Amino acid sequence: MTLYSSGMHIVFFVFALSLGMAVSRPVFGAPKNAASQGGRAANVIRLASMLATFSTVALGFYLYEWWTPIVCFLIVTSILTLLINRKAKPFFLKIDPVVGGANVVLCGYCWYLAMTA
C-alpha cells in the first residue's frame, strides 16, 4: 500500500493548502509597511508560496472530484479567519517566511506524490 493509495495524499493536500493560505492571510489587509517587513527574501518566499498554493489547488482539481478542493478551501478559509485575527496578525507576519518556505516544500512534495503514484 503506497502513501497515495492509503488516503494520506488528501491530508498533505489540505495541510499544504492551509500553510499557503496562512502565509497570505496576514499579508492581506495589513498595512504596506507591515507586509513588506523581512526584506526581499521574505517577499520572494511569499511569491513562491503563492504560486505553490495556486499549483496545489490546480493539483486538487486534477486529482480529486471537482467539489473536494472547493470544500477544502472553504473549510480552511473559515478556520484561518478565526485563528488569524488582529491580535494574532503580528505573530503570523513574523513567522511568515518560515511558513512560506515550508509551504513550498510541502506543495512540491504533493506534486511529487501525485506524479509518482
Cα 3 from Cα 52, distance rounded (Å):
21
Cα 84 from Cα 34, distance rounded (Å):
15
What distance, in Å, lies between the first and last C-alpha atoms of the chain? 11
Confidence (pLDDT) at 97: 86
Cα 29 from Cα 98, distance rounded (Å):
20
Confidence (pLDDT) at 113: 82
Confidence (pLDDT) at 8: 61
pTM, 2 dp: 0.79
107, 113, 116, 117: CA torsion to nearest 10? -140
Give the mean pLDDT per block of 10 residues along the chain (117 residues): 56 87 71 64 84 89 87 89 79 84 90 82
Q: What is the DSSP letter of 84?
A: S
